[in-house]
Structure 1
């Protein structure tokens, strides 16, 4: 019996599982004897290390090509962005500034804005308004610094996008768009003051009014 068991164990050690064969609901492994496993023949008898080196060389060449392509695309993509940071805020062509200050308190410097044209600006206005409509959920979560930065960033985009949309709009639509932009930006400045005060009731009150105007923007840019 001992000899028979050793024979079975030796036979089992010379076989390895190859893949699973479906047998109805259960699966059982198919075994393949090691003697049936053969190394693939090579045409020239070159060692495996040579093939590995060749594969690595090919991978290196491919990666280098991909990096060069990515760099070229990045260089080309720069044409779609304003040259440099907004260290000095560009002037606008329409009357959407605060009449008392001649600017807007929320304008944020040091950002890039993509040149997307009037239609792209209208789309971005709608998307940015949608983003700001979700800000109300974090007003009472002690995230004042983040809220103010987020509001300034999004409002800066809307400020310049509104200017592009108004300029490209038909003459009979410009006044309505200008009034909408001024109502929005007047409320954003009030909201910014409320956020600085860290008063939850005042901030929520200003935000509710701003939200109604944001919904108007989304409807107008649809």
Structure 2
């Protein structure tokens, strides 16, 4: 029972981080001052850390080798995008940050789409059926 509760927490944090990344990053990018750059940088690093830990736990417990492989590939792409976004924020180049943010948001949407059945029904109950 404790394992299932832990996974539910992972799914909840993944969902919340995704929502926050999609909503607040765009607003934060509107303000072009030193404080907002620092805030965005810290936020990206913090969310990347939570998402890394939670996605690793979820991937580890998922059933079905194909589902696990697909999720791993998507998660790797997402984390590469997050790293690129972090580098762009450090460069203080708004146009570059906007491109990297768009790439990161797209990669995260793909991860969330694969996880969607689990996010709604519960952790890793079964492989989602592909149509």
The answer to which structure has the higher helix fraction is: 2
Equivalent pairs counted in the alignment come to 109
Q: Distance in 2 between matches of 1:221 and 1:122?
A: 8
The answer to which structure has the higher strand fraction is: 1
CA RMSD of aligned residues (A): 1.8
Cα distance change of structure 1 residues 130 and 217 upon mapping to structure 2, 3 Å threshold: farther
Q: Distance in 2 between matches of 1:221 and 1:128?
A: 14
CA contact (8 A) 2:71 2:111 kept: no
TM-score by length of 1: 0.46
1:175 aligns with 2:69: yes
How many Å apart are 1:214 and its aligned residue?
1.7
1:131 aligns with 2:27: no
Q: Distance in 1 between matches of 2:45 and 2:109?
A: 18
Structure 1 unaligned regions, length at least 5: 1-79, 81-115
How many Å apart are 1:159 and its aligned residue?
0.2
CA contact (8 A) 1:166 1:178 kept: yes
More RCO (CA 8 Å, sep 6+):
2
Match of 1:157 in 2: 50
1:122 aligns with 2:11: yes
Q: Distance in 1 between matches of 2:15 and 2:110?
A: 10
TM-score by length of 2: 0.76
How many Å apart are 1:207 and its aligned residue?
0.5
CA contact (8 A) 1:125 1:221 kept: no
Q: Distance in 1 between matches of 2:115 and 2:11?
A: 6
Q: Distance in 1 between matches of 2:16 and 2:74?
A: 16
How many Å apart are 1:203 and its aligned residue?
0.4
Runs of 4+ in 1 over 4 A off after TM superposition: none
Match of 2:100 in 1: 206
Q: Distance in 2 between matches of 1:125 and 1:163?
A: 11
Q: Distance in 2 between matches of 1:221 and 1:176?
A: 11
